[in-house]
Chains A and B, each alone.
Chain A
Amino acid sequence: MNRDRMSRDSKKWAITGMGWVGGRGLGRARDSQSPGWASGGPAPFKLSQVISRTEGRSGRLDEFSKLGLASAALALTDAGLDRWTAKRPIGVIASSVYGCIGTDDAYFNTVLPDEGKLSSPNLFAYTLPNCFVGETALRYGLTGPTLVINPADTTNISPLVIGLETLASGEAQALLCGFCDLEPPATIAPLDRVETGSVFMLLEPPGREDITPLATLALDGAEVTNEGEKIDDFYAFIDHLIHTLERDAR
């Protein structure tokens, strides 16, 4: 990855890897043995199934962080960028409708007994939606912009638009872009049309010689296109892309 390649075709980006954790399990685009993507709460899994370096705070991770970290890790593996020695200016932009509301609920249930004296610092440390993005950054040496977007609309297109705008302005050399959501706890009324599970894709300038892109995206004004077709809905685009890759693999 270098700046020459970034400037050569600055309005187009290749998707060089995808990873997901959903109703059928853990998968990635270049692994033909992977289960396909389907929205839904994942069956229990261990992070050691996905990442080799599970030391440190892995045991403390909340379920939301574990989900997002696993799918981001699978996307990096799929793009051949999971191994590193020096930190890299790769960013992470994720969307989440519910964020870490389940962790919030669990944390506040530790506040209630004994008038707050038993409040859990371990749980509180994960009561921000962007904490899993930070976990991804520190485990993979990613120093680019990292944020979570909470959208109000149901197309969930914002992370893709903001992600490509970030790349276009040269603020990151590559970017993990995706979404992460778990079913909300009983205290929260579910919203319509929120896909649960997590999917991430690795976006970078085209031209890498060691990998064939899964697809190419373009930014035209504030519109994102794939093969000339406008992408109106991030969820639908992900479904379309993964099903196309599965069909082509057959």
Chain B
Amino acid sequence: MRKVVIVAVEAVTALGDLEATWEAITAGRTGIAEVTRFPTASYNSSYAALINELECGEDESYITPLLAHLSASFANNSIPEDARLFTASTKAGVDGLERAIRGGTKARPTTLFKGLLDQVRSTFGIKDRGVNVSAACASSTIAIANATRSIGNGFPDTALVVGADIITEFVFSGFSSLRALSPLPCHPFDTGRDGLTLGEAGVAILLMSEERAAREGLTPLATISGWGASNDATHVTAPARDGCGLIEASTNALKMAGLAPGEIGALCAHGTATVFNDAMELTAFAKIFNNVFGPTPPPLVGFKGATGHTMGAAGALEVALCVKALATGTLPPTVGLNDPDERAKGWATTASTPFDGPILTSNSGFGGVNGVLILEGPR
């Protein structure tokens, strides 16, 4: 299988573009603030990481300005005509459905995934009709894995992955009804963690075979050296307490990358800040890495205290931030982590932390899904 590299990456989040987001996280700042887009009085939180610059007309979905912002940020990169398109979104432009139900009309095309794909194609100028990957909060992780596999096999040798999800009353009310939202900005891996905070983001990642990147004169930013996907086969909405699915996905990714656990330099966790997700991840990673590293496995970071949980875009956003971490050799602090869980003490980052080696990044979600990617720096 051919080596697959990331040659371009961009993101828009509540903290700005990728560079601004990275700088803010490094400084310990969060993009989480009080929601003004819709009333939240009935819900058990009023906080989210919204992109305030998004403005849309009465008959438009917020997904449209999100993609426009992302496309503008990505404009310096040339997307090859033969690029295959993968999008990753959990709810596309679901605010179109909200408006249709409220108004008794038909929903806009972007309400469906096909409409999202069509809009990404026209916004980014891509020929391939593309597919959207629906794998809950691991959607973009698994989309990147599928794109990497296709390129690795040579069919084709480049692909664009776009992860995008917006915050609407639909998703906000739903997570509130499940009692999954933290009343205040979330605290990943903290003793006081009490739920997640939602966020929205758009992320674009251009992948190529190493040979194609060389032909195009593009400098690789990172190599995707392994991936793994699994299902807990335990529960539809709750993670497996023993971390069995995450262990399986991580083990498969390490095997594919030809790496031993001891060669991993850092971990980028899903870190939703729910009691059970974070406990599951600490259990799984401790089982994989503790035998190798002793009591303290490679440093672990969670980004959702800064960006919010960006749902289907989360995996791609965390890959984008891992690319920055690989470039600087530094993991930023886990924003929102004030009083680490007993098992996270000295493990989850509370300040900028140097590391050396590949990053293993993971996401898990509803439906029992787990997705893991291993990223290596260009050096």
Contacts and interface: CB of A to CB of B under 8 A. Distances in A.
Interface of A: 57, 87, 91-92, 96-99, 101, 104-105, 107-109, 111-112, 114-117, 119-121, 124-125, 127-131, 133-135, 137-138, 140-153, 158, 162, 165-166, 168-169, 171, 187-189, 191, 221-222
A150 B42 contact: no
B360 interface: no
8 contacts: A107-B174, A108-B101, A115-B41, A127-B91, A130-B366, A146-B367, A171-B252, A187-B106
A99 B368 contact: no
A153 B112 contact: no
Contact of A137 (B133, B231, B248): B231
Contacts of A138: 231-236, 368
Given A131-B236, A165-B153, A152 B130 contact: yes
Interface in B295-345: none
Given A112-B102, A146-B369, A152-B130, A134 B231 contact: yes
Contacts of A153: 129
B118 A152 contact: yes
Given A108-B170, A116-B169, A147-B369, A101 B133 contact: no
Contacts of A169: 1, 149, 152-153
A60 B315 CA distance: 29
Given A97-B114, A130-B135, A137-B233, 9 more contacts: A116-B169, A128-B134, A128-B366, A134-B366, A138-B233, A144-B231, A148-B134, A149-B134, A152-B113
Interface in B249-271: 252
B268 to A, nearest CB: 20
A108 B112 contact: no
Contact of A165 (B149, B173, B366): B149
A128 B177 contact: no
Interface string B146-181: 100110111110000000000001100111111100
A143 B248 contact: yes
A137 B156 CA distance: 31
A60 B107 CA distance: 27
Interface stretch (B26-34, B92-100, B185-193, B282-290): B92-100
Contacts of A162: 131, 146
Nearest to B227: A171
B90 interface: yes
A222 B106 contact: no
Contact of B129 (A112, A147, A152): A152
Contact of B117 (A120, A137, A152): A152
A222 B231 contact: no
Counting from the closest, the 5 A-B pairs by CB-CB distance are: A134-B367, A150-B113, A124-B174, A222-B155, A145-B229
Contacts of A143: 230-233, 244-245, 248
Contacts of A92: 231
A189 B155 CA distance: 34
B93 to A, nearest CB: 12
B101 A112 contact: yes
Contact of A125 (B118, B156, B366): B366
A163 B128 CA distance: 19
B176 A119 contact: yes
Contacts of B112: 97-99, 101, 150, 188, 191
A108 B113 CA distance: 18
A111 B133 CA distance: 27
Contacts of A125: 178, 236-237, 366
B142 A111 contact: no
A105 B231 contact: no
B101 A105 contact: yes
Given A104-B97, A166-B149, A147 B42 contact: no
Nearest to A65: B236
Contacts of A131: 236, 366-367
Contacts of A151: 114, 129, 131
B114 A152 contact: yes
B14 to A, nearest CB: 22
Contacts of A97: 112-114
B156 to A, nearest CB: 8
A135 B367 CA distance: 7
A176 to B, nearest CB: 12
A72 to B, nearest CB: 13
Contacts of B129: 151-153
A49 B121 CA distance: 43
Contacts of A128: 90, 134, 136, 365-367
A57 B236 contact: yes
A169 B149 CA distance: 8
Nearest to A104: B97
B249 to A, nearest CB: 9
Contacts of B176: 116, 119
A108 B97 contact: yes
Contact of A146 (B135, B175, B228): B135
Contact of A108 (B98, B109, B136, B252): B98
Nearest to A117: B42
Nearest to A221: B155
B140 to A, nearest CB: 12
Contacts of A107: 170, 174
Contacts of A144: 229-231
Contact of B39 (A57, A96, A115, A221): A115
B101 A109 contact: yes
